[in-house]
Amino acid sequence: MKATLPLSLAAFAALVSAGCIHTEETVTRDESRVPIAFETEAAGRIFYETLSKLPGSGPYRESSTNVEVPFVFGHTTKTVHGPNTAFNEAVARADTNHDGKITETEAKIFAAQVR
């Protein structure tokens, strides 16, 4: 019993002093823009003005995940979403009948939902 305690302490000290493994990963996720048409110029203007007011419609969105086991292992994953992701989500919300064309009425409804 007395011999196992120093051995356990020595193993723990070796583990702690050995350092840790830390990895960082950045994943960029951007997709191509979905094709969309606007019924009128006013519909396009309303849509793009509303899109510019949405959170996350800037140059990119970022999220990160961090997993750590003290003294042994750490892993960080950072996911960066490009601006096309926000555009595609806005198109999906605005084009309610999914015909590939945003009407002025659909654009106004989309703008009212964002406010």
- Residue ranges covered by each domain of the chain: 20-114
What pLDDT sits at residue 17? 54
Record the pTM. 0.61
How far, rounded to the nearest angstrom, does the alpha carbon of residue 104 sit from its chain's CA centroid? 30
Give the H/E segment covering residue 8. Answer: helix 4-17
**110, HSE (Cβ side, Cα atoms, 13 Å):** 28
Enumerate residue ranges in the chain where pLDDT < 70.
1-20, 56-64, 68-72
What pLDDT sits at residue 59? 52
What pLDDT sits at residue 81? 80
Distant-in-sequence, close-in-space partners of 32: CB < 8 Å, separation ≥ 6: 84
